[in-house]
Amino acid sequence: MKKILILNGPNLNLLGTREPAQYGYTTLSDVEGFCKLHGEKIGYEVECFQSNWEGALLDKIHAYGQLYKADEVLGVVFNPGALTHTSIALYDAIKGVEPMPVIECHISNVHTREAFRHHSWVSPAAAGIVVGFGVDGYLIAMDGLVRKFTQTSARQQH
Ligand code: DQA
């Protein structure tokens, strides 16, 4: 069974208590739980990883790049948190493991928020972007990954 990685960056361990008006009351462990269940339904093994450290996120992307080469991985759903807006290293890491697809996912609609959240270093390297659907965005991103990178795209069905 191929793997999907649900990768979360800084402060996302605080989901559930952190600015609930912005991010809701669902905890990271709830998110990881429903992503794993969804993976079972759609036929993928889901691994979840969160870190507040940029280097740990880079290492995980590199490791998954190797697994992708070995045909063990479909891709990654990645919420880089605030590193979205600052990290050229994350952009380079995603480019460095191409063609492994990485879907960028944000719980909030970053474009309705402060101007500093409007720019993403990750977007130009991302295979797709899901923004503003709350924590459902992780599931939407998983489905998008499957639809875009397997034989189930709408184009092929219609
Ligand atoms: C976020 C949006 C980022 O701007 C913020 O720094 C986060 C969470 C989101 O999921 O909406 O930590 O990525």
**Positive or negative: CA dihedral 77, 82, 84, 88:** negative
Q: Which two tokens stand for residue 68?
A: 């992708």
pLDDT at 152 exceeding the cut of 80:
no
Domain limits for position 51: 3-156
Which residue among 110, 120, 131 is best mutated to probe the pocket of ligand 1, counting the most ligand atoms within 8 A of its Cβ?
A: 110
Domain count, the chain: 1
Q: Which of 64, 68, 106, 138 is catalytic?
A: 106
pLDDT at 7 exceeding the cut of 80:
yes
pLDDT at 154 exceeding the cut of 90:
no
Domain of 53, CATH number, reads 3.40.50.9100
138: annotated active-site residue: no
Stretch among 44-53, 74-83, 128-137, 148-157 having the lowest mean pLDDT:
148-157
Kindly report the pTM of this predicted structure.
Answer: 0.96
Residue 137: exposure state from Cβ atoms within 10 A (0-12, 13-18, ≥19): buried
Q: What is the pLDDT of residues 79-115, one digit of tens each?
A: 999 999 999 999 999 999 999 999 999 999 999 999 9
The pLDDT, as a whole number, for residue 157 is: 61
158: annotated active-site residue: no
pLDDT at 158 exceeding the cut of 70:
no
Distance (Å, rounded) from C-alpha 17 to C-alpha 54? 22
pLDDT confidence tier of residue 151, bands split at 50, 70 and 90 = confident
Bridge partners (DSSP) listed for residue 129 = 104
Distance (Å, rounded) from C-alpha 74 to C-alpha 35? 15
Cβ 108 under 6 angstroms from ligand 1: yes
